[in-house]
Homo-oligomer: A and B are copies of this chain.
Amino acid sequence: MALVNEHFLKLPSNYLFDDIAKKVNVFKTQNPKKDIISLGIGDVTQPLCPAVIEALHRATNEMSLASTFRGYGPEQGYDFLREAILKNDFFSRSIRLDKDEIFINDGAKSDTGNFQELIRWDNSIAVTDPIYPVYIDSNVMIGRAGTKGEDGRWSNVIYLPCTIENGFKPEIPQQRVDVIYLCYPNNPTGTALSRDELRKWVNYAINNDTLILYDAAYEAYIQHDDVPHSIYEIKGARKVAVEFHSFSKTAGFTGIRCGYTVVPKEVSVATLSGERIQLNPLWHRRQCTKFNGTSYLSQRAAEAIYTAEGRKQVKQTIDYYMQNAQHMKNTLRSIGLKVFGGEDAPYLWVQTPGGMTSWRFFEQLLYNANVVSTPGVGFGPSGEGFIRLTAFGTHERTDEALERIKKFY
């Protein structure tokens, strides 16, 4: 008989946001007239900018004529987009990369989930805690994470707690680890690392032969000059780091599906016998086999955000969301809540009042203020006692949510 991959059975049966959606649906069914505002899942609300819309219409028209129709594109993405990325996201920051170090994808979730296929199943991994669940779950599925203990921790995962005490900036691990996941600006805590702070991690990786999987999905929200937009701003990073980017939050592409992954040719891992193997051609081979490229329309849409018009329009929307973040932070602090993040990221990390659990506070906000949040414990053990709020709402709905929370407290 065919046998199941039993590692899957170790997973909690539901993905965090599935759980939340179910609880919200139960509440909706029981209270059909309540007006619910979601500050939970990190989904955007503002429409695509005009430059992107125009590019989509144009690309659609191309697809309607035999002379301009496009079928299969390169699995790694079209040159027009890879070149726009190189020029705008890297050359402009004095980072030199080659075109074939950029891999266009259908969103960062796929690549952050799939990239671990390239390394041995028994490599040690470290994660900041709390963390985006995909990093751990994708490692569980291949058996790398071990088993889940009663404390919510996986036996083979090294947790790097991000707490109020350390300002949500985890300490460098004492032992060496093979692979570290880092996400800055951080989801879920909304905090960022300065260039000096990130340098410590790169140096640790160089000294310990550690691979850093760096998620830069929120870099477009950075407001402070000393916060790096890419890990490759740090010297030596191209030897040790793979970087994941997404247009989802940068340009409202959550429904369009496009992002990219940077795999510099210098990044290598080892065979058991010590031979060094470049990850770049391995990822190329993986993508050629299990992926057939991103929609041509999505790639033209992404290209458009790098035009002069597109850049301006995208920045306006980011400013719009960051106004929300500022307003949320001020208001929630004014009623006595402890609020972190939201300066260089669209997320706020709010301590639950009176030592309440994350899920309890989630329920209070849902039942009393009809506001959906994300329970921090869903992001890992150190997330207990926090909730995450997102700044992706409209001004009007965000204000309304804040008014309700104020009234309730």
Interface bits A260-294 vs B (CB < 8 Å: 1, else 0)? 00000000011110000100011001101111111
Tell me the bound Cα distance from A71 to B141 in angstroms: 27
Asked if B289 contacts A113 (CB within 8 A), the reply is yes
Interface string of A104-134 (1 = CB under 8 A from B): 0011011001100111111100000000011
Whether A137 is near chain B, meaning CB under 8 Å from some CB there, is yes
Whether the pair B210, A2 counts as a contact (CB closer than 8 A) is yes
> How near does chain B come to A276, taking the closest CB pair, in angstroms?
9
A324 at the interface (CB under 8 A from B): no
Closest to A18 in B: B288
Contact of A4 among B11, B133, B269, B292 (CB under 8 A): B269
CA of A106 to CA of B294 in the docked complex: distance in angstroms?
8
Q: Are B255 and A295 in contact (CB under 8 A)?
A: yes
Knowing A123-B2, A295-B256, the reply to whether A289 touches B141 (Cβ < 8 A) is: yes
Question: Which one of B4, B66, B256 lies within 8 Å of A119 (CB-CB)?
Answer: B4
Interface string of A84-114 (1 = CB under 8 A from B): 0000000000000000000000110110011
Cα-based distance from A272 to B2 in the complex (angstroms): 10
Also in contact, A6 and B71, with CB within 8 A (given A60-B56, A256-B296): no
Complex CA gap A170/B153 in Å reads 49
Within the assembled complex, what's the spacing in Å between the Cα atoms of A316 and B284?
37
Point out the residue from B8, B48, B270, B394 that lies within 8 Å of A285, measured CB to CB. B8
Interface centre among A15, A47, A134, A257 (most CB of B within 10 A): A257
Smallest distance from the beta carbon of A377 to chain B beta carbons, Å? Answer: 18
Is A70 positioned at the interface, with any CB of B under 8 Å from its CB? yes
Q: A72-B43, A113-B290, A256-B295 are in contact. Are A271 and B120 (CB under 8 A)?
A: no
For the complex, give the distance between the alpha carbons of A22 and B138 in Å: 34
Per-residue CB contact flags for chain A residues 236-264 toward chain B (1 = under 8 Å, else 0) read: 00000000000000001011110000000
CA distance A13 to B11 in the complex (A): 34
Name the B residues within 8 Å of A107 (CB-CB): 292
Q: A43-B71, A269-B1, A297-B56 are in contact. Are A286 and B8 (CB under 8 A)?
A: yes
Task: List B contacts of A119 (CB < 8 A).
Answer: 2-5
A3 to B270, Cβ gap below 8 A?
yes
Q: Is the CB of A64 within 8 A of B41?
A: no
Query: In the complex, what distance in Å separates the CA atom of A56 from the CA atom of B1?
Result: 45
| Given A63-B56, A63-B255, A5-B290 contact (CB < 8 Å) | no
Q: Do A2 and B282 have beta carbons less than 8 Å apart?
A: no
Report whether B210 and A271 are in contact in the complex, using a CB–CB cutoff of 8 Å. Answer: no
**A288-308 CB contact bits vs B (8 Å, 1 = yes)?**
111111111110000000000
Interfacial chain B residues near A73, Cβ < 8 Å: 255
In whole angstroms, what is the CA distance A14 to B43 when docked?
Answer: 38
A65 in the interface (beta carbon within 8 A) = yes
Tell whether, in the assembled complex, residue B290 and residue A255 are in contact, meaning their CB atoms are under 8 Å apart: no
Interface residues of A (CB under 8 A from B): 1-6, 8-9, 11, 13-15, 18, 41, 43-48, 50, 53, 56-57, 60-61, 63-66, 69-73, 106-107, 109-110, 113-114, 117-123, 133-134, 137-138, 141-142, 178-179, 209-211, 252, 254-257, 269-272, 277, 281-282, 285-286, 288-298, 394
Please, could you name 7 A-B residue pairs with CB atoms under 8 Å apart, sorted by A? A1-B178, A4-B119, A53-B60, A56-B297, A63-B256, A69-B255, A106-B106
